[in-house]
Amino acid sequence: MIKTILFDLDGTLLNTIDDLADAANWVCAQHGWPTFPVETYKHFVGNGIPKLVERFSPENARTPEQLAATLAEFSARYDAHKEDKTAPYPGIPELLAALKAEGVQTAVFSNKADAFCGKIIEHYFGSDSFSLVRGSRPGVPTKPDPAGVYSLMADLGADPQSTLFVGDSDVDILTGHNAGLPALGVLWGFRGEAELTAVGADALAAKPEDILTYLHQH
C-alpha cells in the first residue's frame, strides 16, 4: 500500500517550460548566442539548472568562469519571471487534494535549485500542500543519484516499501529505481511515453486521476 508519493516538479506538477525557455533565450540574446525553440528546451531540462545553462551555452562559452557568470545571469532572470507563464497541469490541484483526503503523504524532489522550488510550490499550491519540498542543494548529487531521495525519505519518515516516485522523464524513473522505489511516469510532461517505457517505468499515467487508480490498485 502506497503511503508516500515523491513528485518531480517541472513537467510533472507544473508546466514551467515556457518560463525556463524564455529566461534562457533572453540570456542567449544578451550575448548574441543562438536561441532555441521550446521543444529543444524540453530535452535541455531535467538535470538541474547548471546543466541547462551548459546546454544552451555555445561551446566557446563553457569555461568554468563563463558558465558561473551565465548561471547567475539566468538565475536572476528566471527568478524574476518564473511565474509569467507557468501553471499547474490540469487536474493536479484536484489530485493533491484527493491524496491529502486519503491520508497519503506527499513531497517534492526536484533537480531545480532548492531556493526556487519552495517559492514556486508555495505560489501555486500554498505553503501546506506538501510535507516537504526539496530541490538541488550544494554537496548533494542531482537525480538520478538516489542520495537526495534517501535523505528526503529519512526526513519524512517514509518507508521505501510504501513509497512511490512520480515524474515525467527518464531521470525520474531512474531516480526511483536507483532508490529501490517503484516509479510511475506521467505522459503530460516534457518527454513522453517512449522515453519512459524505455527506462522501465512501472506504470504510466495519461492524466492525474490515473495516479489515484494506481494507488488504489497497490
8 in active site: yes
Of 9, 218, 1, nearest in space to 129 by CA: 9
Candidates 8, 10, 168, 170; catalytic one:
8
* Rounded-to-10 torsion of CA 9, 13, 14, 20: 20
CA angle 75/80/83 to nearest 5° reads: 110
CA angle 54/55/60 to nearest 5° reads: 65
How remote is the C-alpha of 85 from its chain's centroid? Answer: 17
Report the distance separating Cα 165 and Cα 212, nearest Å: 13
Report the distance separating Cα 188 and Cα 13, nearest Å: 10
Residues 6+ apart with CB under 8 A from 208: 89, 90, 91, 92, 94, 95, 186
| Active-site annotation, residues | 8
